[in-house]
Structure 1
């Protein structure tokens, strides 16, 4: 049997490449007669640049940017012709913040703006920003401030309120006049094709938005998550008002030309809530929001690879409701379905019901950790426990 192993990263425990190797080791143990091929994937979050470079080649420029807490963070810009790919997780990643210091009311997305500026400075006319896996929840306010510093010339810093650089907690105090620089910043980017490769298709606000849906896993208490929802909502209204007619119309249902689109047309965009709302900020600047998992899948020719195999195995650290909103698992299943190739998921945890997975095209799902007490053991040896679970799955799926 021909088996394609196409996982995402397993949180901060395993990169996609390491996860693929662990899956391969396990499958070869359980079914040594099968032909196994690995194809690491990404969805815009951690591993985005490394995965694309493995398929596209290109040059890699090392840069240092501002991390979520203001500390220097090493990052990279992948240049492929006139296109540059950057990974926001290099600057905003949850793994950059020790668990005891995680507080999305204070973390900043400024480093992502510095990455975009570095790509433009290197001559890129198209900049693709991978969004996902962030420790931030500031609606991309820090990114806007960093880009203003880089692109608007001397004196720009004086026009940017300090609250933009201080995390999501203080954004509710800002008004449209505080963001008067936004039309000039959008105009400065007019010659750049700005693309946000988002890891999830969720909006900025609401029950599945940046604050309610993701802030808790970044360290927010329930009260902080509610405060962030209010702050981001207020900031979004102020930012859209500051742009006015410069932003044009968000969609065909927006007001006629010459009038700004209402804020909810921007906050409700699929992917606006990615990376703590950084997708929203990039959309304000004229960026297009596209599914990151689909972009990577196209780059590695995933559909053709799946069609050449008998089963495809994917996985991630935790398969939950987010997985069905633009993540790698859903993308793999969607591409396997037309080819009638079964999709098998092997993840650290599986927190989605069989019915929901089946509707997404997943044939079967297996967890490394079936019980809460097994999670600690899996984290202590992520590659070994993943390989052991995959060996058992292989014996189930492979013909004797």
Structure 2
């Protein structure tokens, strides 16, 4: 009997956050003590945000204003040893567009010197970036010519943009609507949202003309594509440089870690350790991503989080069999997983 666990940072917004790899170690130890007869395959992955590379083992290299970590895709038959995941230098939790631009240009120069193409994974999640996202294109780069020049300079890179939202850049459900969520009665917020929409509409009118791609179904405008509104428009700016957006960041990282392969065979249950469980995190978090992967192998999925703010109907719709609220801290995680282990992997 086996158990597959996928662990993200535990209690990320609580008083005592636990890094993804440490949460994995706590989980394996707690489950092993409660059910020593079970074999455990445990994976630590990022949350899809700027610090996702913290869960990736490997040495870091400083390139421009960012760090790069080797990222092998274990989900493929042949791991892509040339891929890199980037992360803000130091402990910054947000992307600085200028630092990111210098780092990407540095990686592009390395690729050109080696006469090869490098896959670069940029996890943006949906956190605000530290500065105007258009600075990624260069100073005063709200013009197609500067965007085209920046795009040409990065032609040696295959940029993968990980987001945790489907929000497009423009429109009723676009980036500006995030300002109004829960604050629709605030006149100042409404004015700010309208100003943001107008500014980005002007930018997109110019940039879409050189960056949009033909589509068989739906709008061909880049600004209409899901995920382009992530991280204050940073995802759109990266996509305008030729990057491709992946809105299921958790699923991408889990697949790359080899979770789908681990689910094959005699697996009793798959366990998702989520930083929190809310409607938003359920839609784009590890619980639903693991449920989709596990459904292929007919493996039930349970989720454990410090706090749970969703109902059973939403869980069932996401394919999650059960959810457990553990409370905050590593000790609470260990105690709850001991109980979950006794429920889902009892001695026979």
Q: TM-score, normalised by structure 2?
A: 0.79
Structure 1 unmatched ranges of 5 or more: 66-73, 95-106, 149-159, 165-175, 256-260, 370-377
Q: Which residue of 1 aligns with 2:25?
A: 21
Q: Which residue of 2 aligns with 1:197?
A: 162
Provide the rounded CA distance (Å) in 1 between the counterparts of 2:256 and 2:70.
14
SS of aligned partner of 1:319 = coil
1:238 shift after superposition: 2.1
The question of 1:330 aligning with 2:288 is answered yes
The question of 1:75 aligning with 2:67 is answered yes
Q: Which residue of 2 aligns with 1:143?
A: 136
Mapping for residues 168-247 of structure 1, pairs under 5 Å: 181-205=146-170, 209-210=174-175, 212-213=177-178, 226=190, 229-243=193-207, 245-247=209-211
Gap change, CA 1:137 and 1:366, over 3 Å in 2? farther
The question of 1:391 aligning with 2:338 is answered yes
Measured on the aligned residues, the alpha-carbon RMSD in Å equals 3.4
Structure 2 unmatched ranges of 5 or more: 72-79, 112-116
Gap change, CA 1:232 and 1:205, over 3 Å in 2? same
1:108 shift after superposition: 4.7
Q: Which residue of 1 aligns with 2:114?
A: none
1:355 shift after superposition: 1.0
1:226 shift after superposition: 4.3
Provide the rounded CA distance (Å) in 2 between the counterparts of 1:115 and 1:224.
36
Q: Which residue of 1 aligns with 2:76?
A: none
Gap change, CA 1:32 and 1:3, over 3 Å in 2? same
If each structure's helix is expressed as a fraction of its own residues, which one has the higher value?
1
Whether the 8 Å contact between 1:180 and 1:242 is mirrored in structure 2 is: no
Q: Which residue of 1 aligns with 2:108?
A: 120
1:213 shift after superposition: 4.1
1:223 shift after superposition: 6.7
Q: TM-score, normalised by structure 1?
A: 0.70
Q: Which residue of 2 aligns with 1:373?
A: none
Residues 151-199 of structure 1 show CA distances to partners (whole Å, capped at 9, x for unaligned) of xxxxxxxxx23xx8xxxxxxxxxxx66x752233233334432221223
Alignment partner of 1:285 out of 241, 250, 258: 241
Whether the 8 Å contact between 2:176 and 2:197 is mirrored in structure 1 is: no
Residues 264-304 of structure 1 show CA distances to partners (whole Å, capped at 9, x for unaligned) of x3333222133333211112222111233233223222112
Provide the rounded CA distance (Å) in 2 between the counterparts of 1:187 and 1:215.
36
The question of 1:367 aligning with 2:331 is answered no
1:39 shift after superposition: 1.1
Mapping for residues 29-178 of structure 1, pairs under 5 Å: 29-45=33-49, 48-51=52-55, 53-54=56-57, 60-63=60-63, 65=65, 75-78=67-70, 82-87=82-87, 93=93, 108-123=96-111, 125-132=118-125, 134-136=127-129, 140-144=133-137, 148=138, 160-161=139-140
Provide the rounded CA distance (Å) in 1 between the counterparts of 2:127 and 2:212.
29
Gap change, CA 1:230 and 1:363, over 3 Å in 2? same
Provide the rounded CA distance (Å) in 2 between the counterparts of 1:22 and 1:213.
36
Q: Which residue of 1 aligns with 2:225?
A: 269
Whether the 8 Å contact between 1:110 and 1:141 is mirrored in structure 2 is: no
Residues 183-234 of structure 1 show CA distances to partners (whole Å, capped at 9, x for unaligned) of 33233334432221223333235676545448989xxx96776455334422
Whether the 8 Å contact between 2:21 and 2:44 is mirrored in structure 1 is: yes
Whether the 8 Å contact between 1:183 and 1:243 is mirrored in structure 2 is: no
Provide the rounded CA distance (Å) in 1 between the counterparts of 2:122 and 2:28.
30
SS of aligned partner of 2:60 = strand
